[in-house]
Chains A and B, each alone.
Chain A
Amino acid sequence: EDQVTQSPEALRLQEGESSSLNCSYTVSGLRGLFWYRQDPGKGPEFLFTLYSAGEEKEKERLKATLTKKESFLHITAPKPEDSATYLCAVQVLKNYGGSQGNLIFGKGTKLSVKP
């Protein structure tokens, strides 16, 4: 069964304290891995798409990396405004119709950055 697991469930950091969030996946075949940011009471906001192992993408203080089994979202010198829930999702290869293209989400990591 295709599965996405994110850890930790919650992470508290001091401003400037760098860390990483993990997204591990078990899927039949990966088409793409997505990172989203979600603020309370709002919809997820797209951050990155990664397609193959070894790929990296950066945006401001965020850097996403991908291996064959997991992805990391590295946060460098975070600020309080980086506080949010970060969601990971995968799009899997399917040989039959219907589910092709659908995203499977993890439960998310809630990040809190204290000043």
Chain B
Amino acid sequence: ETGVTQTPRHLVMGMTNKKSLKCEQHLGHNAMYWYKQSAKKPLELMFVYSLEERVENNSVPSRFSPECPNSSHLFLHLHTLQPEDSALYLCASSPRRTSPSDTQYFGPGTRLTVL
């Protein structure tokens, strides 16, 4: 596998379920990101990890819980979601996070539907 991979690609869950999204990067990068992409809206940054430490949480509700066990893996744990949380969740990675030369590379996304 190369680049940034995400699993599952599609997920349907009820509001009382607990599920997790997984992201893996094979690029040797030190920064990883979770974004939410909803229809007609710009990509919204949710969380940023740098060297496995969470460095930013953009006022995301606590029903979203990120985890970064090492620099190659990133998880997004979901529980008691709302229908408005239905969206495409994108993972990205970059060599570092502060320089524009550190391009962010995106995974294919997980299409989440909350019933």
- Does A pair with B? yes
A75 to B40, CA, bound (A): 23
The DSSP consensus for interface residues of chain B is loop
Chain B residues whose CB sits within 8 angstroms of the CB of A31 once the complex forms: 99-100
The answer on a CB contact under 8 Å between B102 and A101 is: yes
CB within 8 A of B40: which of A42, A49, A103, A107? Answer: A107
Residue of A91, A97, A99, A107 touching B42 (CB-CB under 8 A): A107
Please, which residues of chain A bring their CB within 8 A of the CB of B111? 41
Is B42 in contact with A4, judged by CB distance below 8 angstroms? yes
Question: Is A87's CB within 8 Å of the partner chain B?
Answer: yes
| CB < 8 Å neighbour of A42 from B97, B99, B109 | B109
CB < 8 Å A-B pair total: 65
Check B43 for interface membership: any CB of A closer than 8 A: yes
Contact A87 B43 (CB under 8 A): yes
Which residues of A have CB within 8 Å of B100? Answer: 31-32, 34, 49, 51, 91
Chain A, 7-33, CB within 8 A of any chain B CB: 31-32
Report how far A15 CA is from B81 CA in the complex, Å. 43
Q: Are A102 and B42 in contact (CB under 8 A)?
A: no
Given known contacts A103-B45, A105-B42, A46 and B56 CB-to-CB distance under 8 angstroms: no
Please name all residues of chain B whose beta carbon is closer than 8 Å to the beta carbon of A54 when the two chains form the complex. Answer: none
Distance in Å from the Cβ of A115 to the closest Cβ of chain B? 27
A-B contact pairs, 26 of them (CB 8 A): A31-B99, A31-B100, A41-B108, A41-B111, A42-B108, A42-B109, A43-B6, A43-B90, A43-B92, A44-B90, A45-B106, A46-B104, A51-B100, A87-B43, A89-B43, A97-B55, A100-B97, A101-B31, A101-B48, A101-B97, A101-B99, A101-B102, A102-B45, A102-B56, A103-B104, A107-B42
- Residues of B that sit less than 8 Å from A by CB: 4, 6, 31, 40-43, 45, 48, 55-56, 90, 92, 96-109, 111
Besides the contacts A43-B6, A43-B108, what 16 more A-B pairs have beta carbons closer than 8 Å? A4-B42, A34-B104, A41-B111, A42-B109, A43-B4, A46-B103, A46-B104, A49-B101, A51-B100, A89-B43, A101-B48, A101-B97, A101-B98, A102-B48, A103-B45, A104-B42
